[in-house]
């Protein structure tokens, strides 16, 4: 092998902001094959296994955020130390003081990277001053590992868990690469007990891992990326160039895109973890089958919605202080959940709309007796889906002006006469969207049967299934890497 070849290989290992290391790239596949081979060579030696996984996880994060992997290292050391201070504090006042200090550091860190420019812009607008954005790089996944660390310190403060003895165990939990940059958000009390168990991957776990990897890769690289590049991005980049009907299908396309993108990542993360014998929590459960907005949030981004419930909603008082405070706490939780997604008024509005909808849903269920009817459930699914799609407009648009442009086109320039020309012109997009929504609306029993079928396949057929999915991905793949949507959060 000559020097240019070696140099080319080494260049793939160096951070490149335009090419993050993501599960659906060929580079990750090759690195993962080398990594998992090494893992099973050292997995019986606990300390070596822990160090091996931590080092690969830090490299994985370095390839996504460059020098900011040191931020993850620093955060790990600081949070591990503060958690021990909380646990060893002799009085409740000291425990609370250490917890508050931990919250200030973690939320301050998150606030600096995500909200400095947002707050500065508001300040400049209020005082009529020119706004020049600060050059602040947003490290990939900072929202995820910050919330993960907070769950550890808060659970120790609440006496639900004890701190781990070794910082390496804590570093393993925080940096575990499958879920590091885009979730699921893993709780310390769920993951830490698994670290010291002997590595064991049952036939059922391996089969489920293959199924999740295949389905996740298909959802991300075949459905999500394809409709994004060839349709959705075009609509949202210039909504006024398209009719209202095309804008409406663009919204439907984005609803499918973000679901397939994020749930596809979560499926792959859970599947990769299973190959090492670790169980991660379910993050999506067919959310567009929901018949109410409350049910939607029990099915969508489950690790975040339950985190917000347990660590924010309950901390605000939950439902312990009367009906008005319950509604207020729920609204504030969703408002802050919207702000977690991004530093912009469109995300605040997105969270606000969901907060109001959750309150109305809760109020209706308390005071209106709704009969148990199949047709009412279907109507509820249709209404919930379209409300969620309406909110997605603000989530996806570049700014508020762009969001209102999409809405205006749909409301005032619908032009249904172009329907057949539209379907003919975008027949491949329509076929992929139809496939995506059909798979999503598949009954749970059918999905379980498919998972069982894959689990019971001989090993060679499991490998062939993954190869077939990879070949399909290559056929649909664009020339540029398409990062996961939630990398930016």
Q: What pLDDT sits at residue 15? A: 66
**Residues contacting residue 18 through CB under 8 Å, at least 6 positions apart:** 481
- Work out the percent of the chain whose per-residue pLDDT is above 90: 35
CB-neighbour burial class of residue 193 (10 A; exposed 0-12, middle 13-18, buried 19+): exposed
Does 475 or 95 have the greater pLDDT score? 95
| Burial label, 310 (beta-carbon count in 10 A; 0-12, 13-18, 19+) | middle
Which comes out higher in pLDDT, residue 365 or 157?
A: 157
Give me the residue spans of the domains in the chain.
7-195, 203-284+371-488
Number of C-beta neighbours around residue 145 at 10 A: 28
Whole-angstrom distance, CA of residue 151 vs CA of residue 155: 6
So what's the pLDDT on residue 462?
A: 76
Band (pLDDT 50/70/90 cuts) for residue 410 is very high
User: CB atoms < 10 A from the CB of 176, how many?
Assistant: 25
CA distance 209 to 276: 10
In this prediction, residue 488 carries a pLDDT of 62
CA distance 259 to 262: 5
Mean pLDDT, residues 409-435: 91
Q: What phi, psi does 281 have (nearest 5°)?
A: -75, 150
Task: Give Cβ neighbours of residue 15 (< 8 Å, ≥ 6 apart).
Answer: 62, 63, 64, 65, 66, 67
Does position 473 have pLDDT exceeding 80, yes or no?
no
The pLDDT of residue 477: 61
* Secondary structure of the chain as H, E, C letters: CCHHHHHHHHHCCCCCCCCCCCCCCHHHHHHHHHHHHHHHHHCCCHHHHHHHHHHHHHHHHHHHHHHHHHHHHHHHHHHHHHHHHHHHCCCHHHHHHHHHHHHHHHHHHHHHHHHHHHHHHHHHHHCCCCCCCCCCCCCCCHHHHHHHHHHHHHHHHCCCCCCCCCHHHHHHHHHCHHHHCCCCCCCHHHHHHHHCCCCCCCHHHHHHHHHHHHHHHHHHHHHHHHHHHHHHHHHHHCHHHCCHHHHHHHHHHHHHHHHHHHHHHHHHHHHHHHHCCCCCCCCCCCHHHCCCHHHHHHHCCHHHHHHHHHHHHHHHCCCCCCHHHHHHHHHHHHHHHHHHHCCCHHHHHHHHHHHHHHHHHHHHHHHCCCCCCHHHHHHHHHHHHHHHHHHHHHHHCCCHHHHHHHHHHHHHCCCHHHHHHHHHHCHHHHHHHHHHHHHHCCCHHHHHHHHHHHHCCCHHHHHHHHHHHHHHHHHHCCCCCCCCHHHHC
Confidence at residue 249, expressed as pLDDT on a 0 to 100 scale:
95
- Give me the pLDDT at residue 392, please: 96
Q: Is the pLDDT of residue 296 over 90?
A: yes
Q: Give the per-residue pLDDT at 201.
A: 83
Task: Indicate if the pLDDT at residue 401 is higher than 90.
Answer: yes
Would you say how long the chain is, in residues?
489
Answering whether pTM is above 0.85, one says: yes
Q: What pLDDT is recorded for position 18?
A: 65
At 309, give phi and psi (nearest 5°): -65, -50
Residue 440 among the catalytic residues: no
Dihedral (C-alpha) 205, 206, 212, 218: value to the nearest 10 degrees? -170
Residue 363 pLDDT level (bands cut at 50, 70, 90): confident
Residue 447's pLDDT is: 80
**Has residue 360 got a pLDDT over 60?**
yes
What was the pLDDT predicted at 9?
Answer: 58
Q: What is the mean pLDDT of the chain?
A: 86
Q: How far apart are CA 354 and CA 38, in angstroms?
A: 46
Q: Which of 349, 354, 350 is nearest to 330 (CA)?
A: 354
Least confident of 142-156, 311-325, 385-399, 424-438: 311-325
**Could you report the per-residue pLDDT of 56-88, keeping only the tens digit for each?**
999 888 888 888 888 889 999 999 999 999 999
Q: Answer for the pair 175, 61: CB distance below 8 angstroms, yes or no.
A: yes
Q: What band does 11 get if pLDDT is binned at 50, 70 and 90?
A: low
pLDDT of 10 reads 61
Average pLDDT over residues 456-461: 79
- Catalytic annotation, pick one of 341, 354, 386, 440: 341
Between 323-341 and 345-367, two packed helices, what is the crossing angle to 10 degrees?
A: 150
Per-residue pLDDT reduced to its tens digit, 155-194: 999 989 999 989 999 999 999 888 887 778 888 888 998 9
Q: What confidence score (pLDDT) does residue 82 get?
A: 93
How many of the other CB atoms lie within 10 Å of CB of 364? 12
How far, in Å, CA of 73 to CA of 79, rounded?
A: 10
Give the pLDDT confidence score for residue 139 in this predicted structure: 82
Q: Is the pLDDT of residue 198 over 90?
A: no
Q: Residue 148: is its pLDDT beyond 70?
A: yes
**Listed residue (360, 321, 315) closest to 333, CA to CA:** 315
């Amino acid at each position: 092998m000559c020097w240019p070849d070696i140099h080319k290989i080494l260049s793939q290992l160096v951070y490149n902001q335009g090419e993050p290391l993501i599960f659906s790239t060929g580079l990750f596949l090759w690195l993962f094959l080398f990594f998992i081979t090494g893992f099973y060579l050292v997995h019986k030696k606990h300390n070596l296994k822990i160090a091996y996984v931590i080092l690969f996880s830090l490299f994985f994060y370095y390839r996504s955020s460059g020098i900011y992997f040191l931020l993850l290292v620093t955060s790990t050391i600081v949070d591990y130390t503060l958690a021990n201070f909380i646990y060893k504090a002799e009085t409740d006042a000291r425990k609370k003081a250490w917890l508050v200090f931990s919250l200030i550091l973690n939320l301050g860190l998150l606030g600096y990277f995500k909200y400095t420019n947002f707050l500065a812009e508001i300040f400049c607008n209020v005082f009529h001053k020119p706004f020049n954005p600060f050059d602040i790089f947003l490290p990939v996944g900072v929202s995820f590992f910050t919330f993960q660390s907070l769950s550890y310190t808060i659970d120790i403060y609440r006496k639900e868990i004890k701190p781990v003895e070794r910082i390496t165990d804590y570093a393993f939990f925080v940096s575990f690469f499958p879920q590091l940059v885009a979730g699921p958000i893993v709780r310390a009390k769920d993951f830490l007990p698994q670290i010291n168990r002997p590595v064991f991957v049952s036939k059922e776990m391996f089969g489920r891992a293959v199924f999740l990897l295949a389905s996740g890769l298909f959802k991300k690289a075949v459905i999500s990326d394809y409709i994004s590049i060839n349709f959705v991005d075009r609509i949202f980049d210039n909504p006024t160039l398209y009719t209202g009907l095309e804008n409406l299908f663009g919204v439907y396309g984005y609803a499918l895109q973000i679901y397939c993108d994020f749930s596809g990542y979560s499926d792959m993360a859970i599947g990769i973890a299973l190959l090492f014998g670790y169980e991660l929590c379910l993050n999506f459960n067919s959310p567009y089958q929901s018949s109410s907005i409350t049910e939607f949030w029990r099915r969508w981004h489950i690790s975040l919605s339950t985190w917000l419930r347990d660590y924010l909603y309950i901390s605000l008082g939950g439902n312990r202080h009367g009906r008005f405070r319950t509604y207020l706490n729920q609204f504030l939780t969703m408002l802050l959940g919207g702000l977690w997604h991004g530093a912009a008024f469109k995300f605040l509005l997105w969270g606000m709309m969901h907060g109001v909808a959750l309150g109305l849903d809760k109020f209706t269920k308390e005071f209106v007796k709704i009969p148990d009817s199949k047709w009412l459930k279907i109507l509820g699914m249709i209404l919930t889906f379209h409300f969620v799609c309406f909110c997605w407009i603000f989530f996806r648009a570049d700014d508020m002006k762009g969001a209102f442009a999409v809405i205006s086109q749909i409301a005032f320039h619908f032009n249904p006469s172009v329907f057949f020309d539209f379907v003919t012109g975008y027949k491949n997009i329509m076929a992929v969207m139809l496939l995506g929504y059909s798979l999503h609306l598949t009954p749970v029993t059918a999905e379980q049967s498919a998972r069982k079928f894959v689990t019971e396949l001989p090993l060679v057929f499991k490998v062939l299934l993954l190869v077939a999915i990879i070949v399909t991905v290559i056929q649909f793949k664009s020339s540029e890497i398409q990062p996961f949507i939630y990398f930016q959060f």
